[in-house]
Structure 1
Amino acid sequence: MYVRLFSAVWLLICAGLAVRAWSFQAPFAYDPVGPRAFPLLLLGLMGAGSLWLLIKPGLLEQQLHLPSVKRAALCVLALVVYALLFEPLGFVLSTALATFAMGLLFTGRLLPCVVSGALMGSLLFGLFDLVLDVPLPLGLFKAFVES
């Protein structure tokens, strides 16, 4: 019962925030997608999850598996550290470290996690910066670019 109540309230919150996000206007064009695409995408995903829990709440009534809870908590911690390091280290390094940490959390081997982290950071930077023209923080690489 509490799961359905929570998901119904969360669905209403997502709908209200989506209405508010729809009116986002940037005073200048800083990326081609615009400021409202990302919040609307996240709110749509959260709303879909809330709707799923509203219809089928029985999936959460199962016994919690302690190692899974620990892994989920470490995953959230890794994402918080990623957000904190995003500006100081820059997109490439922080994304590489976050990808490496996620790979290890999900039982990846050390060398493939290092390689995939480096590839993910650099290829995503190339995609966003060069192809989509979305400015990303350079962090520690700023000194190399400005030289």
Structure 2
Amino acid sequence: MGDRILGGVCLVVALAMAWAAHGYAAEISYEPVGPRAFPTLLAALMGLAGVWLLVKKPAHGVASGTPVLAATSALDWKAVTLCAASCLIYTALFQTLGFWLATSLMAVPVGMAFGGTLKKTLLGGVVMGLGFYLMFDKLLDVVLPTGVLSFLLGGR
């Protein structure tokens, strides 16, 4: 039953996101896609996930109505708290540190919350942060803050 409730909530939020994004328009159109494409795409993906949660059958060997977390393992509140705190710190330091460094640093505690080692999560964070920065900034031409590393990344 918990999956179906989550599916319904996802579907309602997706519809609200799509409705809100419908009115997004740039004052000066310099991009072919426009500002409503990304939130509309996210709403569509969230809506599809919500529908899937509403119609899927329970996992094999799990009684109908048993929440997924109860069927697999207990919720690790320490990991959830670590991830939430990392996201809050990430948003607070995003402009100052810049996208690449803030993303790299946020990936470390989140990766460790999921059982990664310090060395692997640090390496993964650096690769992910730099990779996403290059993809968004260079390939998609999305301006991201460079922060304290502006001298290395061509500062914007």
TM-score range for the pair, normalised by the shorter chain length: 0.7 to 0.9
Structure 2 unmatched runs, 5+: 59-64
SS at match of 2:96: helix
1:110-139 CA distances to partner (integer Å, 9 max, x unpaired)? Answer: 222222211221222112111211100111
- 1:39 maps to 39
2:139 aligned to 113, 120, 131, which one? 131
Tell me the number of residue pairs that the alignment of Structure 1 and Structure 2 aligns.
146
Tell me which amino acid in the other structure corresponds to 1:131.
L
**Superposed displacement of residue 16, structure 1:** 3.3
- TM-score normalised by structure 2 residue count: 0.72
Identity %: 37
Q: Which has the higher helix share?
A: 1
CA separation in 1, counterparts of 2:24 and 2:104?
31
Give unmatched runs, 5+ long, in structure 1: none
Deviation at 1:96, TM superposition (A): 0.4
- Structure 1 residues 21 and 107: alpha-carbon distance in aligned structure 2, compared to 1, 3 A threshold: same
Residue number in structure 2 paired with 1:71: 79
Partner of 2:102: 94
CA spacing shift, 1:27–1:120, aligned 2, 3 Å: same
Q: Tell which has more relative contact order, 1 or 2 (C-alpha 8 A, sep 6+).
A: 1
Aligned to 2:126: 118
After superposition, the CA RMSD in angstroms is 3.0
